[in-house]
Amino acid sequence: MLNNLQDFFSSENVYLATTYLFFAYGIILMFFYFAGIVLANRAINKAKKKSLFLQVNDIVSATDIPSVTLIAPAYNEGLTIIENVKSLLSIQYPYYKLILVNDGSKDDSLEQLIKEFQLEKKDATFITQPIPTASVKYIYQSKLSKYTHLTVLDKNNGGRADALNAGINFATSELVVCTDADCIIEQDALLKMVRPYLEENEREIIACGGGIGIANDSVIKNGVLKELRLPENLVPLVQVVEYIRAFLLGRMAWGEINGLMLVSGAFGMYPRKRVIEVGGFNAKTVGEDLELCIRLRTLMEDLKLPYKVVYLPETLCWTEGPPDYNVLIQQRDRWARGLWETLKIHKKLFLNPKYRHMGFLYYPYWLIFEFGAPIIEFLGIICIVAFAFFGMINWPMAILIFFSAYLVGCIFSTAAILMYVKSFKHYDQPKQIVLLCLAAYLEPFLYHPVLVYGQMKGYYKKIFSIKSGWGTMTRKGFKVSDT
C-alpha cells in the first residue's frame, strides 16, 4: 500500500497535474473576487443614486404601497424572545403585521409572550393551508391596542421551513418577509426593502434581501440596536469581516448582474403569491432559503417572464453570530448539508441551455466554487502532506505561493472593510477599523481551517447518510440596556 502511494505521489505527472489544477482553480477564483469588487462598487453607487429619488419619507407617507407580513419562527428562544419581538413590533411601516410562529418550543417562550403582550387564545381551525404544514394548535392575539398587529401561531414542531410556511398560509399581504425571532431589524428596514418593488416596472422582483450584521456584545434597548460594538471574542469578530466580505463583494456583485441565487433566510422579502405557487419553503432540506430562491428563479425561467433578485447593500438586520468554535462548526456543517441538498435537487440546471445564465454560469459557480472550495482545500492539504513526505515539494516556491495567496486574501478583506466603512458609517472609528483588519489577517490561521472542518463534516454526513437536523444554536443573548 505504501509503495503504491509512493509511486503515485512521487510521479512527476501527478505532481504537475495537481499543481496546475490547484493553481488554475485559485486564479479563476481570484478573477471572480476582483470582478466582485468592481461590480459591488458599481452597485453601491447605483443604490445611492436611486435612494435620492425615492426616499424613506416618501414611502412612509404613500397610500399605494404594498402590504407586508413579517414572519418569524421561534424555537426555544426564551432567552431573547421578548426583546426581539419588541424590535419586530417597532418597525416603521404603514401596512404591516407580525406573525410569530412558536414551532413547538419546549422552553417558556410562549408563556413569556402571553404574559408580556397579554395574548388571548383563539381557535385555529379556520386557517386554510395552501402549503401543507404541521398542525397549528392555537392562534394568540394581543388584547392591547398597541399590539394589534401581533399574531402568535402555536404549532407542533416541524422545523424552521415548516414554521415559515405556516406563517405564509396565515398571512394575507402582498409581500412576506421571512426572518428569525432572534434578529434585531432596523426601524426603517421594510421601507427600504419595499423600494425595489416600487421602482421596478419591467421585471418582477421575486426576492429581495438585506445585509445581515453581527451584533454580539452590542447594546439593545426596547428591541432597538442602540450601540453597535465589535464582538469581544475572536470567533464572532472574524464573522463580522466574513459577513462584510460575503454580503458586499459577493451578493452585491452577483445582484448587479442579476445572478443572485440566495437571499438570506435571516431577512428576505418575497411576493406571497409566488412563494405559494412554488409550494413554499422545502422542509426536507436545511438549506431552505437557497433552495427557495433557486426554485423561484426556475419558475420564472419556465414561465419565460422577466424577473430580478435584489440585494440591498445596507445592513438592515442584526443577529447574534456563533460565539465559539463549537457552535460555528454546527452552523457551517448545516450550511454545507443545505448546499449539498439544494444543488442535488436542482441538478437539472447544470449547463442546461433552457435556463440561460443560471444554467451556464450561476449554478456552475455555486457547484465549483461554493460547494467545491472546501473539497479543493481539503485535497490540497492532503497533497501537500503527501508530496512533502515523499520529498516532492520545492519549499521556497511553495512558501512564496502561500504568502502571495495570503496577501491577496488580505487585500480583498481590507478592500471590503474600507468600502463598507466608507459607504455605511458602521465601525468607522480608527480602533474598530484596525481591529477588523487584524481579524481579517488572522482569519486564514485561526478561523478558516475550522470553517473548512465544519463544511467537510457536513459533506461527510451526506456521503454516509448520517441523519442530522439543524443542531443547537447556543445563544448568550444581547446586552440589554434599561437606560
Q: How do residues 39-71 score in pLDDT, each as one tens digit?
A: 998 988 887 777 666 666 666 667 788 999 999
Max CA distance (Å), the chain: 79
Mean pLDDT, to the nearest integer, of 251-268? 93
225 has a pLDDT exceeding 90: no
450 has a pLDDT exceeding 70: yes
Mean pLDDT, to the nearest integer, of 18-31? 90
The residue among 329, 308, 301 whose CA lies nearest residue 448 is 329
Evaluate whether 161 touches 288 at the Cβ level (below 8 Å). Answer: yes
90 vs 111, higher pLDDT: 111
What's the distance, CA 73 to chain centroid?
Answer: 16
Contacts of 166 (CB under 8 A, 6+ apart): 101, 133, 134, 136, 153, 155, 158
483 has a pLDDT exceeding 60: no
Mean pLDDT, to the nearest integer, of 252-260? 94
Position 378 scores a pLDDT of 94
Q: 13-51: buried (b, 16+ CB within 10 Å) or exposed (e) per residue?
A: ebbeebbeebeebbeebeeebeebbebbbebbeebeeee
135 has a pLDDT exceeding 80: yes
- What is the residue-averaged pLDDT of the chain? 90
1 has a pLDDT exceeding 80: no
Using pLDDT thresholds of 50, 70 and 90, give the confidence band for residue 410: very high
31 has a pLDDT exceeding 80: yes
Position 471 scores a pLDDT of 58
Tell me the C-alpha distance between 13 and 141, whole Å: 70
Position 13 scores a pLDDT of 75
Residue type, 198: L
358 has a pLDDT exceeding 60: yes
Position 115 scores a pLDDT of 96
Mean pLDDT, to the nearest integer, of 81-104? 90
Position 473 scores a pLDDT of 59
Position 97 scores a pLDDT of 96
Residue type, 257: I
Mean pLDDT, to the nearest integer, of 284-307? 96
Tell me the C-alpha distance between 56 and 198, whole Å: 12
Rounded to two decimals, what is the model's pTM? 0.92
The residue among 439, 432, 390, 384 whose CA lies nearest residue 410 is 439
Q: Can you say whether the dihedral through the CA atoms of 312, 315, 319, 320 is positive or negative? A: positive
Tell me the C-alpha distance between 258 and 324, whole Å: 35
